Amino acid sequence: MDLHTVSTTALAYLGDAVLELLVREHLVQEGYSSSKSLNAHALDYVRAPMQARAMERLAPHLTEQEQAVFRRGRNIGHTGTPKHATVAEYRAATGMEALFGYLHLSGNMTRAAELFALAYGREEDRA
């Protein structure tokens, strides 16, 4: 598969699921066990404003190729945004999802896990 020809929307769609899996794994490893607690804490990771802040932390660590994929995702034409996010936050979150979708399709989940840890490794990074 030529990853340069995969639609950016498809990358973001897949990346959303990749991030969800990474979040769930992280929360289980942190010791959360009730579905109510797991779901409540997961929101600290997947809301657009949180993902936008995570991308600010990741940006200095991205390769040129990863930056290009992020920009592709960020620049998708959005017709709407969630009510609790700015347009810039929503665009950054979509770019992040595209990046993680790209990493998954390229078979580089080690890099995805590394970036996830950089983005969300500390509790204060999610506050």
Q: 66-95 as b/e, with b when 16 or more CB fall inside 10 Å?
A: beebbebbbebeeeebeeebeeebbbbbbb
Helix ranges (H only) for the chain are: 8-30, 35-46, 48-58, 64-74, 87-105, 109-120
In the set 2, 16, 44, 125, the catalytic residue is: 16
Decide if 16 is catalytic: yes
Catalytic sites, residue numbers? 16
